[in-house]
Amino acid sequence: MSSNITPISGIFGRRMDSVEKAEKTGAVKSENLGTFKQNADDGEYEDATLHFAEHKSKSFLNKYGRYEKTALYFASQYEDSNNVKLLPEQNADVNVKDSDGKTALHLASENGDSKTVKLLLEYNADVNVEDKDGKTALHVAVQRWDRSIVKLLLEHNVDVNVKDNDGKTALHLASENGDSKTVKLLLEYNADVNVEDKDGKTALHVAVQRWDRSIVKLLLEHNVDVNVKDKVEKAALHFAAERGDSETVELLLEHKADIHVKGKVPDTVTIDKDGKTALHFAGGRGSPQIVKLLLKHKADVNVKDKDGKTALHFAGGSGSPQIVKLLLKHKADVNVKDKDEQTALHFAAKTGDSDTVEFLLEHKADVHVKGKVFDATSSDQT
């Protein structure tokens, strides 16, 4: 009966001389690293790695196992800084990638093992290697909120503006996390505040979307372009107005946000409604405080979106007589018609908002205007 013991198995069986024998006879082959992996998972990792390092089995150290992992990779995975120090001294390649494109530095960063990260950097680990997702160790460290490792990588000249496959930089990820301290650290190392991800969003879009004013302030202090529009043509001001976040709206306006910039809002029920300004969003959101802010900054109350609607149409349909009053006070045209020939009165009547209907009538809304009526059973709409 054949034995299942390989030269590598002998190492795990504490046969100290088998390393040298395997080295001399060429019996150490890449496929035997499967045993290395298996034994490592069985808890015999430490002795095995030490044997390889101490007995200088150099040809083995940089060979790949089943998942293209080397001994150094395992040392990093198991947070074994002692062997991480030994292996490079025996010519282990610190920048070898596994099948996911990860190096030992990625692994140590994922584990939050700053001691191993520091050792790998001392052995000239490449801080800018990207894995299959386009992430460097910096992306990894930022995602796990590990500022000590982020700082180590920055001190070793990691490219702070590298984009992953989603177009995100470390600054995007820190903003997504709401991690203002890491955002501040990245900015100190010249992170580009205006980099756009694959959706056209900068870190400012991200911070505004998650209501994080501390990060919004940091980005504004570092001259972020406040009027950049994403792929659906929305600027940060649109997001803030849409969410009813009056404090952020005020911040953005103080930093010269364009109140007349138009954006697009995809609507899965009807056709896309685009060409909206922040005032359209605020009117539809029912946010009197934001409407006041925008009007204070000279927002044009009669700007139409691509459906011909003004902010008054949206306010009429939002059940907010207070906003309707504000807009009319600022000379909103009460009888302006959208592309379907409907006025704000039509929208208020459809929602059953008697207060708004009454107020519009007091301001001479024309009750005789006929809007288009669409019959779902008819194929010919006129």
What does the block give as tokens for 268? 């899965």
For residues 247 and 169, membership in a common domain is answered with no
Mean pLDDT, to the nearest integer, of 355-366?
92
For residue 82, give its domain range. Answer: 45-159
Q: For the chain, what percent of residues have pLDDT higher than 70?
A: 70
Q: What is the pLDDT at residue 226?
A: 97
Residue 74, by phi and psi: left (phi above 0), alpha (psi -120 to 50) or beta? alpha
Q: Are residues 240 and 347 in the same domain?
A: yes
Residue 1 in domain: no
Domain boundary among 109, 135, 159: 159
Rounded Cα gap, residues 69 and 374, in angstroms: 64
pTM over 0.85: no
Asked which of 136, 159, 182 is the last residue of a domain, the reply is: 159
Q: Do 241 and 211 share a domain, yes or no? A: no
In eight-state DSSP terms, residue 151 is H
Phi then psi for residue 335, to 5 deg, are -110, 15
Among candidate residues 102, 125, 159, the one where a domain is terminated: 159
Residue 188 pLDDT > 70: yes
* 90 band by pLDDT with thresholds 50, 70 and 90: very low
pLDDT tier at 73, thresholds 50, 70, 90: low
Instruction: Assess whether 52 and 128 both reside in one domain.
Output: yes
Domain count, the chain: 3
Considering the domain architecture, whether residues 177 and 198 belong to the same structural domain is answered as yes
- What pLDDT is attached to residue 28? 44
Residues 348 and 241 in one domain: yes
Dist. CA 128–CA 110, nearest whole Å: 15
Average pLDDT of every residue of the chain? 79
> Residue 82: what pLDDT?
52
Q: What is each CA distance from 224 to 15, 71, 210, in whole angstroms?
A: 62, 44, 17
Q: Which of 45, 56, 53, 48 is nearest to 23 (CA)?
A: 56
In a domain, 39, yes or no: no
Binned at pLDDT 50, 70 and 90, residue 236 comes out as: very high
Do 178 and 100 share a structural domain? Answer: no
Query: Do residues 173 and 214 both lie within one domain?
Result: yes
Residue 27 counted as domain residue: no
Tell me which range, 10-24, 47-61, 92-106, 297-311, is most confidently predicted by mean pLDDT.
297-311
The CATH number linked to 189 is 1.25.40.20
133 and 54 within one domain: yes
Closest to 218 (Cα-Cα) out of 164, 167, 182:
182
Check if the beta carbon of residue 37 is closer than 8 Å to that of residue 6: no
Indicate whether 214 and 299 sit together in one domain: no
Q: What is the pLDDT of residue 7?
A: 35
Examine residue 32 and state whether it is found in any structural domain, yes or no: no
CA pair distance 315, 356, nearest whole angstrom:
9
Residue of higher predicted confidence among 55 and 159: 159
* Region of poorest pLDDT, from 22-31, 120-129, 265-274: 265-274
In a domain, 286, yes or no: yes
Q: Tokens standing for 243?
A: 């969410």
Model pLDDT, residue 43: 43
Say if residue 57's pLDDT is above 60.
no
Q: Are residues 173 and 199 in the same domain?
A: yes
- Rounded CA-CA distance 209/216 in Å is 10
Mean pLDDT value across residues 305-325: 92
* 328-353 tens-digit pLDDT: 999 999 999 999 999 999 999 998 88
| Residue among 25, 47, 111 at smallest CA distance from 76 | 111
Establish if 252 belongs to a structural domain. Answer: yes
Q: Is residue 72 located within the same domain as residue 94?
A: yes
Residue 8: the pLDDT is 32
Range with the poorest average pLDDT among 10-19, 75-84, 160-169? 10-19
